[in-house]
Every structure is written in structure tokens, then in C-alpha cells.
Structure 1
Amino acid sequence: MNEVTQSSSNVYEVFALRYATHDTRRSGENYLGDDPHDDIAMPLDFYVWVIRGNGRIVLVDTGFDATTAVRRGRRYLHSPIALLGELGIAASEVDTVVISHMHYDHAGNLSEFPNATLRVQEAEMTYCTGRCMCHEAVRRPFEARDVCAAIERLHSGFVVFTNGNEPIASGIDVHLIGGHTAGLQAVRVRTARGNIVLASDAAHYWDHVRTGRLFPIVHHVPAMLDGHRTLMDLADGPDHVIPGHDPLVRTRFSHWNGHPDIVMLHEKPVEHTGIDRDKGGPETKEAR
């Protein structure tokens, strides 16, 4: 695919906002079926993503709050709403919230966005309110209050369901991936450097896509593996796939106004395509 030029219409700025982090281990926590002796530190960062341009402010995922961070043992760095403020965006200005999936770290804080239409896959809402939630192991990554908040927005007329692959606006579309949950969706955005794909938990780390390995929380194994290929097919290159929790995102791209936790994804990476393989970063399409 060709890169989109700066003069093209309907291109957007895209920012990754890191609001929390967690000191996980490689074995068991981040890879399904790893050798339990492979106990290497592998931090997990938590992001929300902002798409701005053409008169639109779209937020992809809404994070969790400080109370949830304490209860789940996560290190809370900023409120996502405060990070939006750093970009000069008030929560009331967000017109659309795309929820990639309904896990606690992606679907909290919904009440903070009173004017936003919520876009969620119908399969995801069916999943998080259906019989699968009878199993404690399956419902553990969900917060009941977040699911209830989404249902309240539905009954207030502020939810639009997506089914499969659909446009959100000119230059922004969602794609049903599944795998991690029944209705996980990724978001493709047209930027000045080409089409980037906000993978969310379709790929927690670049290394999941590169090696074809699985994150341990998985609803459907083949769908998760197929999803890695779909992400690459949708994006204009390996650096255009943005994983959902990889700390390398903050070293791969420039920071907005030097802010340590706000990264500009619409600008070219700070290095030539490809992070060293032993660091788990992306490689070129030709190397796949």
C-alpha cells in the first residue's frame, strides 16, 4: 500500500495515551504455554487512543479508574481524562467512543463522556451479558459496573452496534477480530504516514504478531492467530500495527511535547523500520 500524503483529505492525528502499567512476567502471564522457567520481566502498559481530525474526536477505549487500579494491583499513572486534557481535549468534546472489547482496562470511565456515541460489536455485548459469564474464570477480566454502564448508555440511545467490518467515519473503520474475546474489534485509521491499525488486544505485544504466539486470555485460539494476519493485511506495514499493551510503543514513536506518556502514532517511527528481533518489535513484511 502507498503512504497517504500530507495534502490528502480525511487524514487524522492518532495518539497513544499510557495511563497505567503493571510489572508482569513473560512466563504464564504474557504467553500461553511458555516454559514456566522462562521467568523474565515483561511489563504490560495500559493505553487509550485518540483520533483527532476532520472535525472529529474519536476515543478508542476508555481505560479504568484509580479505584480499579488499586483493586487489581495496577500502577496508575494518570487519569485518561487528564491525559486528554493535556492534548487540549475536554471529555465532553469526544463525539465517539469505540470500545475494542469490554474488559475492565478498556471499558471503564464511560460516564465521563456524556456526549459520545458508544460503538461496540454486537457480538461483544452478547458475550459479556450472556451465559459465558456464568464462569468466574471467563468473567474475571470484566467489571460488572462497566457492563452495566454500557447497558445504561444503550437504553439512553447512545450505543450504535457494529457487526463485522464497518466504517465509523471517512478514513476510520472497525474490523471484527475476535480471538481474545468474542467481539474484539480493531480500528484502522488513515494518517499522513498511511493506514495504521489500533490492534488493542488482538495483539498485546508486537512479538505476538511476529511469532504467532498467544496471549493467555483467549476465547478462540484460531481466531486469535488469524487475527494477527488480519492486522498485518489491514496495515501499511509492521510499524503501522499498534499493539495494545507493548511498552515499546513509547520508544518507537515520538512523544507529544516531550510528554513521557503521550505518543504520536501518526508520525513516522523514530528509527528505520524494524526493532531488533530480540526486543520483540516489528519486522518488515518482507521478513515475515
Structure 2
Amino acid sequence: MSDWEVHAVKYADRNARTRADSFIFDDNHDAPHAMDYYMWLLRNGDRVILVDTGYDEDEASSRGRPIRLNPVEALAPLGLTPENVTEVIVTHLHYDHAGGLALFPSAHLHLQAAELAFATGPCMCHDTLRMPFTAGHVCEAIKRLYQGKLTFHDGDAEIADGVTVHCIGGHSRGLQAVRIRTQAGWMVLASDAAHFYENLWLRKPFPIVVDLENMLTGFDRLETLATRRELIVPGHDPIVRRAFAQGASDHIFRLDTGPIAEINL
């Protein structure tokens, strides 16, 4: 029944964005709006679970979206090598969350069945829906399936004592959030169920969306899962770096102790 450590690991950022890239409804649509890219590391004693994998230099080059740190390098200050990562919760298969799967070849994956079905089904005939996916990353997940190193989940599931996953959908068909028992209370890694605090707190949907109703009801679900709203950690918000304490390096932030500053939108 011990609590988990939770670390946010920032490996990339993108500043050449506007609020129109982050919110469907926004009066100030042409104002700058930066985005951070994170992985998350859960640790309890000897057990380590990586949530998402970031993406590597090849993907960065092909998409014209540079990374600051290779995911393996980004995890090194936490004392981890690829061989140490034996479990990965894949929140969804978009390139920036599953683009580093091949970097952790020993890892057993946890994935919603609906996500792999979506990423390999008829919806991928549409360029707009296919855009956030990369075929090689999806094939890597399929490879793990055939290696016996992938567990499918259908909705809510327990990964470990104090770690559960919950299918939210909306942004991608099988997007799952992760709920963790911490010293600060039940924390929720929203991943892209809420890219920014503003998506969640002001109920402003993100523009890349498969099911808008699921995205909006997902905001409500996130709030029921967390002990309090401040313990819901969005997937891409630079505010996370101001709200939580710096961890083992200047790109790592300790989440499980709770926010150290007021979260102001």
C-alpha cells in the first residue's frame, strides 16, 4: 500500500504555435501558445513503469519538430537505461507518445484495445485522422503483441497496486489516463485527455479530436478520478514546470509531492 513516486520528464517543446492550435473556441486565436512534450516515470521500490516514450531523432526530423533530448538520454538522470524499462503504459499511439517504443525493446506494453483497433482500422483512410500516427510506431506495438509483450485493456484496469488506467477517448479512440496513489493523494496523468490546464478547467476542447462528446465528458471523468483538481496533470502544459518542484535534472519535475505553487491560467 505504499505510495508511488511520479516524475514528469520533458524532452521537447514547440514555441511556434498559437492558441488556435490548442483550443477550438478562443477569441484570442492568433496569440502565441507554447507546448511542452513529456514522458512520465512511476517508481515504487524496485518497480518502474514508464508512461509513454516520447519520440526519437528520426521522427523529429521527418516531422520537422526537433527534440531537446533523446528519450533515453532524458531518463538517464533518474538512473534508468532502456534495459531497466520493463513496463510501458501507452496512453495512445500518437507519434509524440509512442514514437520511442523501439528504444525500449524489453518493455511489456499496456494499451487500450480500442486504440490499436483505431490505429489499424478504416479511420486511418482519412488523412486528418492518420496525421498524428506513424506506421512504424503502430507496427512496433503489433510486434510486441506477437512477442507476447502487450496487454490489452478495455476501459478501467489495474496495472499495479495504486496504478490504474481509464479509457477516456476523445482525442484518440483509445486514449487512456493513468491514476496513481501518491503522498499528495490520487494523482491523474491526463496525457492528451487534457493537453493544457485550460482545456480542462475552462472546458475548452483541443482541436485534434475524434469524438468531441467523449473529450468533454472525459474532462468530468478526470475530475472524479483525482483527489482534487490540482492533482490532474495535463499532457503538454508548460505550467507544469512552474507548479511542481524540479527533480533530478532541470528537465525533470517531481509530481507526487503535489504542486508547490498556485496554478494560474
Q: Which band: TM-score by shorter chain? A: over 0.9
User: More displaced, 170-179 or 63-72?
Assistant: 63-72
- Is the counterpart of residue 263 in structure 1 residue 257 in structure 2? no
Residues 5-43 of structure 1: CA deviation (Å, up to 9, x unaligned): xxxx331100000001111433321111434x6311110
- Structure showing greater radius of gyration is 1
The code of the aligned residue for 2:245 comes to S
Alpha-carbon distance in 1 for matches of 2:263, 2:38: 20
- Is the counterpart of residue 213 in structure 1 residue 213 in structure 2? no
Select the residue among 159, 182, 187 that pairs with 1:168: 159
Alpha-carbon distance in 2 for matches of 1:182, 1:25: 25
Select the residue among 16, 25, 29 that pairs with 1:38: 29
What aligned pairs does 1:207-246 form with structure 2 within 5 A after superposition?
207-246=198-237
Q: Describe the SS at the equivalent of 2:207.
A: coil
Counterpart in 2 of 1:79? Answer: 70
What aligned pairs does 1:7-86 form with structure 2 within 5 A after superposition?
9-35=1-27, 38-86=29-77
The code of the aligned residue for 2:150 comes to V
The code of the aligned residue for 2:190 comes to A
User: More displaced, 100-109 or 23-32?
Assistant: 23-32
Q: Describe the SS at the equivalent of 2:20.
A: coil
Offset of residue 268 of structure 1:
2.6
Q: Is the 8 A contact 2:185 2:227 kept in 1?
A: yes
The TM-score normalised by the length of structure 1 is 0.89
RMSD of aligned Cα (Å): 1.2
- Is the counterpart of residue 116 in structure 1 residue 107 in structure 2? yes
Alpha-carbon distance in 2 for matches of 1:25, 1:115: 36
Offset of residue 84 of structure 1:
1.4
Residues 40-79 of structure 1: CA deviation (Å, up to 9, x unaligned): 1110110000001132110000110112112222231111
Alpha-carbon distance in 2 for matches of 1:73, 1:260: 24
Alpha-carbon distance in 2 for matches of 1:38, 1:78: 30
Q: Is the 8 A contact 1:121 1:163 kept in 2?
A: yes
The code of the aligned residue for 1:12 comes to W
Q: Is the 8 A contact 1:208 1:214 kept in 2?
A: yes
Alpha-carbon distance in 1 for matches of 2:222, 2:167: 11
Offset of residue 207 of structure 1:
0.6
Alpha-carbon distance in 2 for matches of 1:171, 1:54: 13
Residues 139-174 of structure 1: CA deviation (Å, up to 9, x unaligned): 000011100111111111111001100000000000
Q: Is the 8 A contact 1:100 1:185 kept in 2?
A: yes
The code of the aligned residue for 1:275 comes to I
Residues 177-203 of structure 1: CA deviation (Å, up to 9, x unaligned): 000011000000111111100000000
Select the residue among 192, 197, 203 that pairs with 1:201: 192
Offset of residue 205 of structure 1:
0.2
Q: Is the 8 A contact 2:230 2:263 kept in 1?
A: no
Residues 186-244 of structure 1: CA deviation (Å, up to 9, x unaligned): 00011111110000000000011111011000000010001111111101112210000
- The runs of 5 or more residues in structure 2 that have no matched partner are none
Q: Is the 8 A contact 1:11 1:54 kept in 2?
A: no
The code of the aligned residue for 1:206 comes to Y
Alpha-carbon distance in 1 for matches of 2:132, 2:95: 6
Deviation above 4 Å: which 4+ runs of structure 1?
none
- The runs of 5 or more residues in structure 1 that have no matched partner are 1-8, 281-288
Alpha-carbon distance in 2 for matches of 1:191, 1:176: 21
User: More displaced, 22-31 or 240-249?
Assistant: 22-31
Q: Indicate the percent of aligned positions where both proteins have the same amino acid.
A: 42
Counterpart in 2 of 1:135? Answer: 126
